[in-house]
Structure formats: C-alpha cells, structure tokens
C-alpha cells in the first residue's frame, strides 16, 4: 500500500476543491445562456425600385415610338409639328378588348383571394350546420335504400316461389301428357308389334328417357315440397340449378317423343285418329314444360337483376354518405399547408394575370416621354398595328443632347418609356440632372457575350456646358410605391420558393411566411402580405 504524506495529501485535496469551484462557477455563468437578437421594425413609407447603368452623352436624334401591343388605332391626339410635353397623350388604340380582359382578370383575382381568405378563416356556423344536415340526410337515404333493397329482393324471392309452384303445375301437366302414350290402348301397348316403329332403337331410347323423366319429376316434386317448408332465399338460390336440370330432362324426353311419333307407321290397329291424339298430347306436354322452364328462368333472372340494382343503389348511397362525411370533416379541419399553398398559388397566378392585363391596357396608349416636337406620324385612325412592330410616331427633343445607355436583359423588362431618371455626369459630379426614358431599341446588342438593350434617356432641361461624349451614370426609377410596408432585405429567409421572416411573439421567436414586392437600392424590400406595421423582425442572431 502506498502512503501519501500529509502535506501532499492536503495539496491534492485543495487542488480537487479548486477544480470543483471552477466547474461550478463556469456552470453558473453559462446557465440560461440565450442568444442576442438584432431586429428591425416593419416600417411604412415610400419604396423605389431603381436600375443603375452607365452611358454616354450624344447629340439628339429623333425618338421613334411603337406600340407593345397590337390593335386598331382609335384616336390620334397630336399633329405633325405640334409641341408636346412629357406625359402628353399621343396615340390610343381601341381598348375595349383590353379593358374586358382587365375586368375579368380583376374579378378572377378577387375570387381567388376570397377563396384563400375563406380557407384561412374557416367555415361559418351556418356552413357547418348545412354540412351536418347533408350528412344526416345522406345517412337516412342510405338506410332507406338498404331497407328498400331488402323489400324488393324479398318480393322477387316470393315471386320466385310462385314461379316454381307454377312450374310444378306445368311439369305435372307435361308428365301426364307424356304418360298418355305409355298407357294401354296407346302407342306403347304391350301387344303392339315393333313393326309399328320405323326406328326400333329410337323406341327403346325414348322408353329409357321416360324412366329418367319420371325420376327427374319426382326429384323436382321433392324440391318444391322442401321450398314450401323452408322458403329462405339461400334455399332458393341453391335449388335453381337442380330445378333447371330436372325440367330439362323432362323437356328432352318430350322432344325425343315428338321425334319418335313422326316415325310411327299408321295401320288398322293404330289409326290416324290415335296418332293425332298422341301427337297433340306430346306437343301440349312440350308447351307446358317450356312454360315451366321459362317461368323459373325469369324468376331467377329477376332475383339476379334485383341484386345488381340493389348493390348499385347501395353503393351510390354509401358513396354520397362518405363524401358528405369527408366534406364535413374537411370543413371542420384546419387547412393543411399544402391546401394553403395551392390556394395561394391560384392567388399569385390571378394577380400575375391582373398585372399583365393592366400592362396591356396601359400599353394601348402612347404618351410623350419628353418635352419636344412631333416630327412625323406614320399611322392613321382605323389602321391595324402589330405588337412591337414599326414606329408609329417620331419626336424631336427640345434639348440638344441625350444619353445612350445599355441595359442588361435581366433588368430591361422593368424599364418603361417615360420612367424618370437621375443623371450624374463625370464632368459635373456635384450636380444631379433629371430626365426620362425616351426610347428602347427592340433589337438586342451583344457586348462581350452579354445581351443588352440600348436605351435612350432625354434630359428634362438643357444645361450649359454639356457636350457630346461625356460619361454619365444613370439611375432609372422603374417603380415607386407609397404608403407600403417594408423591411430590410436581409431579414428574409428562403425555403424553396417561399419566403419567411422571424418575428417576436411575446418572448418567443416564430417564423412567418411573407409575400414581397419591389426592392430598393438601400437594402429594403416591400412586404405585400404577412406582416403589420411596427412588428419586430429578426435580422441578426449572435450567441452570448
């Protein structure tokens, strides 16, 4: 055993105690450790979407305008040589069709939005009550259908019992007619010579069949007695095939007897009168047995058809009841994320079509993008123009200079003729000029493998000192929305095609899905749906 000196023992114990104290302090310091959040409030104000580009000052040329949509010219507001200001009406197409499309798109959007709102709000008490009544109604109808099926089928089985009894009556009649030719003083009289028959083998064959017919009739009679005693549906179902088999034996015997009697030789001991009587009896028996078979067959078919009809009616009633229950459960249940996504997709699609219809309606009218003069009008009232076709009107700017800038294909779709522009010239860095988009060339320009579209920007006012060739930085205001909600763009979280933000709800942080609009150059983005003013959204998280 190793002995530890007292001094060393004390040092070890002290070291262990220090370690324990450090551990406790460290645990206390890290207890309830929570992250720090940096957040921003949802604000309401003006947000401007802008596109920046560089260009070069050029001498003014004619500005050619064309329609982006096709249609018939309805009105021309100006004449050649007339002075115009930015925003003045120039030419208008017939907007009847475009306006109808706009109204339809607007209605479709409202309907899609209403359906989404209804899904989110849930059903009213009246809707639930109506759905519950529908369930009760369909349940009662299902029970009534089942009861009616039982009654109808029971009637068919009762009719089948009657048909079998009638069949027995006709079978008995047929057997009696058959027996007449085997009685004394008839065809099979014992002392008659076999010479009466042309076919002796046929005679004995019919005799054998007659014996089988007697057995079959006896079996049929026993079946009828059993059915009378126990007329259950299952008993009837099991008896049909045996009944048919017995009746067919009797029928086949009568058929053979009919063939045999045609082979009989008429002579003084077997007169024509007797032959006629036997022939009539055989034919009467055949008629009777065929009637018996038909009656039983019709009864069996009626039961089978009634079973099919009953099952069809019950299936329909059950499906209606199940559907009503599903509709009620669906009505009461909270909407699933996938359902919300489907309805939201319909809203988004309807909104996109509405914007497209608004754009077509707007594009059916040309306005002057600059202050200037009408140089030439290349269209007349009533003429048909095509979308993005030839120029229909040319303008000359009041100023002597304009700017040509190349806008990338990623941004050109946002730019419209007449959009306001802020202009900065390298030669006069302290001054900001204003202008407007005057023209967008429809044909692309390829620069180092990238597609651009040459855009002409016209100064609002002519300033001294501006010269051709000067470099310019332009900021095109493509959209402007006032009194809208916006947040910092970095607050967004992307999950697939959806966008979310984290918001404070009490002491908890929760995610909310949002719909966004335009984005400015200051790091802000419009919030169309999902947030309210002054809500706090998390933009940064840091662990303590």
pLDDT at 198 over 90: no
- pLDDT confidence tier of residue 14, bands split at 50, 70 and 90: low
pLDDT of residue 146: 94
pLDDT of residue 1: 45
- Structure token digits, residue 267: 């002579």
Summarised one tens digit per residue, pLDDT across range 202-254 is: 666 777 888 888 898 999 899 989 988 888 888 888 888 999 999 999 888 88
- pLDDT confidence tier of residue 191, bands split at 50, 70 and 90: very low
- pLDDT confidence tier of residue 9, bands split at 50, 70 and 90: low
Per DSSP, the residues of 45-64 read: EEEEEEEEEEEEEEE--PEE
Decide which of 151 and 33 is more confident.
Answer: 151
Q: How far apart are the first and last CA of the chain?
A: 50
Q: Which value, in Å, is the radius of gyration of the alpha carbons in the chain?
A: 50
- pLDDT confidence tier of residue 276, bands split at 50, 70 and 90: confident
- pLDDT confidence tier of residue 33, bands split at 50, 70 and 90: low
Would you give the distance in Å from CA 518 to the centre of its chain?
Answer: 31
pLDDT of residue 202: 67
pLDDT of residue 195: 46
Summarised one tens digit per residue, pLDDT across range 66-117 is: 898 999 999 999 998 898 988 899 999 998 899 999 999 999 999 999 988 8
Rounded Cα distance, 193 and 190, in Å: 8
**pTM of the full structure:** 0.45
Instruction: For residue 195, give every residue at least 6 positions away whose Cβ sits within 8 Å of its Cβ, in sequence order, or none.
Output: 265
- pLDDT confidence tier of residue 183, bands split at 50, 70 and 90: low
Decide which of 359 and 539 is more confident.
Answer: 359
pLDDT of residue 5: 57
Summarised one tens digit per residue, pLDDT across range 460-474 is: 876 677 887 888 899
pLDDT at 267 over 70: no
pLDDT of residue 138: 94
Rounded Cα distance, 332 and 326, in Å: 10
Per DSSP, the residues of 267-308 read: BTTB-HHHHHHHHHHHHHHHHHHHHHHHHHHHHHHHHHHHHH
Give CA separation, 64 vs 344, 377, 383, 440, in Å.
Answer: 41, 10, 18, 9
Rounded Cα distance, 344 and 115, in Å: 9
Rounded Cα distance, 404 and 57, in Å: 7
Among 157, 413, 188, 414, CA closest to 281: 188
Rounded Cα distance, 295 and 279, in Å: 25
- pLDDT confidence tier of residue 271, bands split at 50, 70 and 90: confident
């Amino acid at each position: 055993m190793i002995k530890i000196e007292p001094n060393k023992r004390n040092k070890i114990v002290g070291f262990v105690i220090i370690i324990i104290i450090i551990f406790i302090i460290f645990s206390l310091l890290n207890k309830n450790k929570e992250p720090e959040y940096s957040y921003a409030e949802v604000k309401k104000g003006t947000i401007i979407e802008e596109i920046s580009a560089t260009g070069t000052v050029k001498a003014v040329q004619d500005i050619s305008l064309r329609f982006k949509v096709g249609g018939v010219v309805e009105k021309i507001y100006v004449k050649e040589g007339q002075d115009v200001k930015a925003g003045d009406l120039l030419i208008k197409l017939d907007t009847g069709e475009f306006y109808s499309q706009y109204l339809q798109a607007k209605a479709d959007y409202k309907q899609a939005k209403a359906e989404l709102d209804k899904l989110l709000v849930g059903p009213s008490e009246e809707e639930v009550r109506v759905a519950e009544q529908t369930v009760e109604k369909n349940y009662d109808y299902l029970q009534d259908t089942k009861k009616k099926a039982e009654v109808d089928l029971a009637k068919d089985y009762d009719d089948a019992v009657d048909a079998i009894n009638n069949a027995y009556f006709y079978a008995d009649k047929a057997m009696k007619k058959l027996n007449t030719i085997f009685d004394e003083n008839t065809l099979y009289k014992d002392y008659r010579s076999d010479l009466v028959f042309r076919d002796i083998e046929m005679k004995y064959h019919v005799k054998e069949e007659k014996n089988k017919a007697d057995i079959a009739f006896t079996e049929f009679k026993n079946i009828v007695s059993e059915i009378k005693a126990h007329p259950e549906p299952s008993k009837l179902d099991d008896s049909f095939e045996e009944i048919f088999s017995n009746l067919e034996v009797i029928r086949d015997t009568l058929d053979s007897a009919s063939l045999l009697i045609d082979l009989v030789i008429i002579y003084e001991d077997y007169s024509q009168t007797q032959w006629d009587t036997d022939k009539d009896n055989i034919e009467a028996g055949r008629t009777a047995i065929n009637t018996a078979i038909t009656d039983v067959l019709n009864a069996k078919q009626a039961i089978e058809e009634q079973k099919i009809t009953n099952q069809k009616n019950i299936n329909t009633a059950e499906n209606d009841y199940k559907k009503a229950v599903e509709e009620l459960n669906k009505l009461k249940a909270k909407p699933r994320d996938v359902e919300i996504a489907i309805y939201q997709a319909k809203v988004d699609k309807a909104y996109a079509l509405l914007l497209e219809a608004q754009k077509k309606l707007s594009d059916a009218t040309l306005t002057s993008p600059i202050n200037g003069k009408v140089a030439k009008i290349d269209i007349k009232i009533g003429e048909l123009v095509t979308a993005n076709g030839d120029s229909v009107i040319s303008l000359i700017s009041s100023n002597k200079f304009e700017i040509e800038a190349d806008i990338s294909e990623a941004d050109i779709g946002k730019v419209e003729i007449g959009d306001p522009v802020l202009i900065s010239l390298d030669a006069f860095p302290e001054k900001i000029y204003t202008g407007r988009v005057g023209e967008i060339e429809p044909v692309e320009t390829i620069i180092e493998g990238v597609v651009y579209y040459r855009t002409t920007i016209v100064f609002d006012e002519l300033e001294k000192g501006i010269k051709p060739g000067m470099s310019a930085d332009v900021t095109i205001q493509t959209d402007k929305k006032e009194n809208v909600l916006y947040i910092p763009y970095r607050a967004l979280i992307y999950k697939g095609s959806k966008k979310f933000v984290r918001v404070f709800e009490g002491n908890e942080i929760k995610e909310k899905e949002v719909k966004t609009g335009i984005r400015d150059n200051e790091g802000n983005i419009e919030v169309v749906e999902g947030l309210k003013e002054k809500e706090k959204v998390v933009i940064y998280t840091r662990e303590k």
